[in-house]
Homo-oligomer: A and B are copies of this chain.
Amino acid sequence: MVLNRRAMLGTLGGLVVGGALAATAWPAAAATFDQKSAPFGWTPHKLDPVACAKVAYDGYWFNDYGCCYGAFYAIIGTMGETFGAPYNQFPFTMMEVGKSGISDFGTICGALLGVASSYSLFWGRNERNPMVSDLFRWYEKTSFPMYDPGDAAQGVKGPLPTSLSDSVLCHISASRWCTSSKRAQSSKDRNERCARVTADVVTQGIAILNAKIDGTFKPTGKSEAVAYCGECHGKDKQADNAKGLMDCRPCHGGSEHVQDKFQNHP
Contacts and interface: CB of A to CB of B under 8 A. Distances in A.
A34 B40 CA distance: 23
A28 B169 CA distance: 32
B259 A50 contact: no
Nearest to A236: B186
B211 A14 contact: yes
Interface size class of A (residues with CB under 8 A): 35 or more
A14 B138 CA distance: 11
Given A93-B40, A179-B241, A261-B253, A47 B1 contact: yes
Interface in A216-266: 216-217, 225, 228-229, 233, 235-236, 240-246, 248-249, 251-254, 257-263
A171 B246 contact: yes
Interface string A1-38: 11100011011011110010011011011011111110
Interface in A92-149: 92-97, 99-108, 112-113, 116-117, 119-121, 124-125, 128-129, 132-133, 136
B178 A81 contact: no
A104 to B, nearest CB: 5
A138 to B, nearest CB: 9
B103 A128 contact: yes
A219 to B, nearest CB: 11
A54 interface: yes
Nearest to A18: B50
Contacts of A260: 252-254
Given A77-B33, A260-B254, A262-B253, A100 B178 contact: no
A205 to B, nearest CB: 11
Given A16-B49, A175-B243, A262 B252 contact: yes
Contact of A1 (B28, B55, B100, B261): B55
B107 A2 contact: no
Contacts of A263: 254
A28 to B, nearest CB: 7
A39 interface: yes
Interface string A53-64: 011001100110
Given A3-B48, A31-B74, A97-B119, 16 more contacts: A14-B208, A15-B207, A22-B49, A22-B51, A26-B48, A28-B54, A29-B55, A33-B92, A35-B88, A89-B89, A95-B120, A107-B108, A174-B244, A184-B236, A186-B235, A254-B261
7 contacts: A2-B79, A16-B50, A19-B50, A99-B125, A102-B113, A185-B240, A254-B259
